[in-house]
Amino acid sequence: MLLGQRDMEQDVAWSQEDDNADFVVGRTAHVKWVPLSSTHVGTQLIVDHREGPTYGAVLEIDQDLELWGVVRWKSLSEMFQETLESLETGRPVVTAIGREIRPETVRESDGTSSVVWT
């Protein structure tokens, strides 16, 4: 999270130097966003710490789908609750574009297991 935050701050600074802050700040990076997770295809979940109606919300950014800070959950608590319920029951979690994803346990050849969302 710390490295992601530093990267966002750097992206914001560079965008301001390059005079393209309108395309970066509040779309793909912000100094008051805290990165929470990122997928292998670049979708990000971030916690918004800007003052206003989305303060504390978990936002989704997906450049391929042109999602720029769409509210996924109103709070970390709401995200954790929905994730826990999905893990316990198999009930899907709905993404920002309405796609349902479910947790699936994958057992590796070395005997370890991990959860993937499909």
pLDDT in tens, 50-86: 899 999 999 988 877 776 788 899 999 999 999 999 9
Residues 113, 106 contacting (CB under 8 angstroms): yes
Instruction: Please tell me the pTM assigned to this model.
Output: 0.76
pLDDT of residue 36 exceeding 70: yes
44 in the same domain as 88: no
65 in the same domain as 83: no
User: What span, in angstroms and rounded, lies between the C-alpha atoms of 79 and 72?
Assistant: 8
The pairs formed by 94-100 with CB atoms below 8 angstroms and a separation of 24 or more are: 95/60, 96/60, 96/62, 96/67, 96/70, 96/71, 96/72, 97/62, 97/65, 97/67
47 in the same domain as 10: yes
How many CB atoms within 10 Å of residue 75?
Answer: 13
Print the domain residue range for 17: 2-76
Residues 46, 56 contacting (CB under 8 angstroms): no
Give mean pLDDT, residues 21-34.
69
- The number of folded domains in the chain is 2
46 in the same domain as 20: yes
